[in-house]
Amino acid sequence: MANALKQKPLKQIGKASTTRATLPPDAALKKLLHMFLQEDLGAAGDVTSNAMIDARRQATALIVARTPGVLAGGRLVRLLAGMVKPALRVHCAARDGEQVRQGQEVFRISGSLRGILLLERTMLNLLGRLSGVATFTNLFAKQVTGTKARIRDTRKTTPGLRALEKYAVVCGGGVSHRLGLFDAFLAKDNHVAGLNPLQMSLEIQRAIGTARLKNKLKFAMVEVDILDQLDALLRLPRGVIDAILLDNMSVTLLRKAVELRNQLAPRVQLEASGGVTLTTVAAIAKTGVDFVSVGAITHSAAQIDFAMDIQTAPRKRGRV
């Protein structure tokens, strides 16, 4: 196998400065990674390696991509490597947001063999999951190339992994939505159930005003599923609403929604949502919406398969 560690980096898909900004600080990540490691180690630690491997034994391991995809999770590999004593040394052959080929060596890790084996499964699980999300996101992002639309994630994430999976979305060329219920105002159908369009718009104006006074919001958004609701919201004073979510609308209705927005409130962003697939996303993007949110990129992404191979020196042959 050719040593990919000597090859030039491939073209990066996501902006590195953007992807770095989406991950929590190292201190928070280490707490999360410690919890993941404890799942494997329990109270006894790695009973097999402790019984079979001399504590002084050193080794080098290669993490290889068995399937192609977009890499996400390199920073986690480096942080994990520093969580064993003595810390392992990591050389990265690819950066997050880059395409990796089948068979490509992505990381070279050196140090205590016990330490390498202790971290192996946690490293591979995280790399596989996050790279799977990045890869699936990138498939959607490619489908909307040439339109103004960007692919956006949702809160349909794995509990405990939300910040990491949303980071992976950015690595794949998407953009991240709100992190949770705490950082943005998003009134959905269940919030406005039973209200006619005029009542809804007035209640929304009041509620957003209250929310902005008490919280620092990333944005204020409202979900609609009919054009009458959209019309009422677009007539609110400028600055009340930042964006409107168009839920489960046909392509024909989406075009009409974009036309109405362009006439009444060009600054308000529109996001299409609901049952978006790789087959339908291009047509949705061509309607002129600003975003297309896709729950599948986090809840249905297939893992990218990574393997760890321990490099062993050939044994010296004695005289026969």
Residues recognised as catalytic: 121, 156, 188, 223, 247
Residues 6+ apart with CB under 8 A from 175: 150, 151, 152, 153, 169, 291
d(CA 289, CA 271): 6
Q: 10 Å Cβ neighbour count for 188?
A: 13
Q: Find, among 182, 160, 145, 168, the residue nearest to 298 by Cα.
A: 168
**Residue 230 structure tokens:** 């959209």
CA distance 150 to 140: 9
User: Which 3 state secondary structure label does DSSP give 69?
Assistant: strand
* Residue bearing tokens 């089948």: 102
| Sign of the dihedral defined by the CA atoms of residues 18, 22, 23, 24, in that order | positive
Q: How far apart are CA 61 and CA 118, in angstroms?
A: 12
Does a cis peptide bond (omega within 30 degrees of 0) precede residue 86? Answer: yes
Amino acid, single-letter form, for residue 68: P
Please, what is the end-to-end C-alpha distance for the chain in angstroms? Answer: 32
Given a contact cutoff of 8 angstroms between Cβ atoms, the answer to whether 133 and 169 are in contact is yes
Element (H, E) at 191: none
Cβ-based burial of 125 (10 A; exposed 0-12, middle 13-18, buried ≥19): middle
- The DSSP element (H or E) to which 60 belongs, if any, is strand 58-65
- Provide the phi-psi class of 112: left if phi over 0, else alpha when psi is between -120 and 50, else beta: beta
